[in-house]
Amino acid sequence: MEIAFYLSGGVAVLATLGVITSLHPVHALLYLIVSLIAVAMVFFALGAPFAGVLEIIVYAGAIMVLFVFVVMMLNPGPLAKARERAWLRPRIWLGPSVLAAVLLAVLLATLWRGDPGPVVEGEMLTARAVGTTLFGPWLIVVELSAFLLLAALVTASHLGQAGSSREPDPTTAREES
């Protein structure tokens, strides 16, 4: 399980570097998804499967879908088809695919051996413990983060609509008449 931890950690670092150095937002999103899945694999290797599942469901699932929709809303226009064709080239998918293949190999090797590995010392992290902690002493923090995510969603929606429905500039309308 130690090998799984180090390989997953290395993939997470490399994918995060891909996020930082990527010039296109879609490429950065692909690397970010691989990075989040690698962090979930680190949690699994440490013996915290519930934290790993939360990482995949919450971050790699829900928040990444939100990011994809924001990128889609902010990139409308006639050049969008040309950009999409450029993004579909195999060279662009090579980096995230190689890193995802390393994670898949680590996962398959771990499952093949059937060794769950060492469990982190302490009590087992259950859904009940997470719920009691989040909605107990941390209720205000959870609610504030929900408001922050809602504000980000409303802002992204507003920016996306403002870019697609441009009104005519009053200065150019006077020149034409």
Distance CA 71, CA 58 (A): 19
Report pLDDT digits (tens) over 104-155: 888 788 777 776 555 545 566 667 877 787 788 878 888 888 888 888 888 8
Tallying the residues shown for the chain, one arrives at 177
Residues 116, 120, 126, 128: what is their CA dihedral angle, to the nearest 10 degrees?
A: 170
| CATH class label, 2-123 | mainly alpha
**Local structure of residue 120 (DSSP, 8 states):** P
In the chain (177 residues long), the average pLDDT of successive 10-residue segments reads 84 90 80 89 83 82 76 66 69 81 82 62 68 81 84 81 57 51
> What was the pLDDT predicted at 166?
52
> What was the pLDDT predicted at 33?
87
- Would the CA dihedral through 82, 86, 89, 95 be positive or negative? negative
> What was the pLDDT predicted at 152?
83
For residue 128, the one-letter residue type is: R
Q: Which of 84, 82, 4 lies closest to 38 in space, CA to CA?
A: 4
Q: What is the pTM of this model?
A: 0.53
Q: Domain extents for the chain?
A: 2-123, 126-177
In the chain, what are the helix, strand and coil shares in percent, each to the nearest 5?
80, 0, 20
Cβ-contact 11, 30 below 8 angstroms: no
